Amino acid sequence: MQQAAVAGDPQAQCYLGVCFQTGQGVAQDYTEAVKWFRRAAEQDDPVAQCYLGFCFLSGHGVPQEYGQAAKWFREAAELGDAAAQFNLGVLYETGQGVPQNLAEAVKWYHAAAEQGEPQAQFNLGVFYEQGQVVPQNFTEAVNWYRRAAEQEVAPAQCNLGLCYQTGRGVPQDKQQAVRWFIRAARQGDKTAQHNLGVHYATLEATQHAGEVAAQHAADLTAAAAAAAAAEITPGQAASEQPEKP
């Protein structure tokens, strides 16, 4: 692999960069990783361009520089790399390295989401639910939340549960809501854990209220029966007395 990288093969160069970045088979060295990512990126390898953009974003192996991160993410995004498209969308949403532009953010989220990038799918769902940049559309929000939720994105699972709980974009279904809250809660999503707690507390209160009502009804029935018996007894006793001539 190293020979191929030295010979100029961009995929080998990118893979070697990953090895140096992660310490896989070599001593971890972020500077060396950047060197190989850059060589591959300059040959238009989109994966290497995305990795190089992330190095500039995180400051690993190079000084942190959002403008350079945006540059390399854009190069890769325009070549169709889904991770780069998502990352570029994040930069446009937050205004890091580029002027803040929510329309551009949605554009790149959509491109990445269509390729199955789960975080982009979740972010796109949020835009549709809130009606930012795009017309508010709960059905479309549910569509993207579901795609991300099925890839185990916990906030998407939580939001999908909320949609089922409130009937936004889907028919209201408490069981489905709880199902998605549980999946998100198991991943540590605090909002889902809270929603589950509220659900079970409400359920317990309802059951308790039902038990109290049932007991109250039973008490009333018993009291009514006792009263009826008390009214009948004197009558029976009186009928047993001899009639006067």
Helix axes 46-58, 10-22, angle to 10 degrees: 30
Query: What pLDDT band is residue 182 in, cutting at 50, 70 and 90?
Result: very high
Query: What pLDDT band is residue 221 in, cutting at 50, 70 and 90?
Result: low
Are residues 123 and 82 part of one domain?
no
- What the block records as the tokens of 92 is 């446009």
Q: The CATH number of the domain where 7 resides is what?
A: 1.25.40.10
Inside any domain, residue 93? yes
Could you please report the per-residue DSSP string of 60-78? SSS---HHHHHHHHHHHHH
CA distance 93 to 37: 26
Inside any domain, residue 82? yes
The fraction of the chain above a pLDDT of 70, given in percent, is 83
Query: What pLDDT band is residue 201 in, cutting at 50, 70 and 90?
Result: confident
**Tens digit of pLDDT for each residue in 111-153?**
999 999 999 999 999 999 999 999 999 999 999 999 999 999 9
- pLDDT recorded at residue 10: 95
- pLDDT recorded at residue 200: 85
Residue 237, pLDDT > 50, answer: no
Higher pLDDT, 237 or 206: 206
Domain membership of residue 156 as a residue range: 116-212
The fraction of the chain above a pLDDT of 90, given in percent, is 77
CA distance 31 to 26: 13
> In this structure, how many other beta carbons lie within 10 angstroms of the beta carbon of residue 66?
16
- pLDDT recorded at residue 225: 55
Q: Which long-range contacts (CB under 8 A, 24 or more apart) does 24-33 make?
A: 29/61, 30/55, 30/60, 30/61, 31/61, 31/62, 32/61, 33/60, 33/61
pTM recorded for the entire structure: 0.81
- Out of 47, 69, 102, a domain closes at 102
Short-list 69, 17, 23, 6, CA closest to 48: 17
- pLDDT recorded at residue 228: 56
CA distances from 88 to 78, 126, 147 (A): 10, 17, 21
Are residues 132 and 197 part of one domain?
yes
Are residues 97 and 6 part of one domain?
yes
**CB under 8 Å to 54, separation ≥6 — which residues?**
60, 69, 87
CA distance 39 to 9: 9
CA distances from 220 to 48, 127, 223, 231 (A): 78, 55, 5, 17
The total number of structural domains that make up the chain: 2
Residue 229, pLDDT > 80, answer: no
Inside any domain, residue 230? no
Short-list 173, 161, 84, CA closest to 125: 161
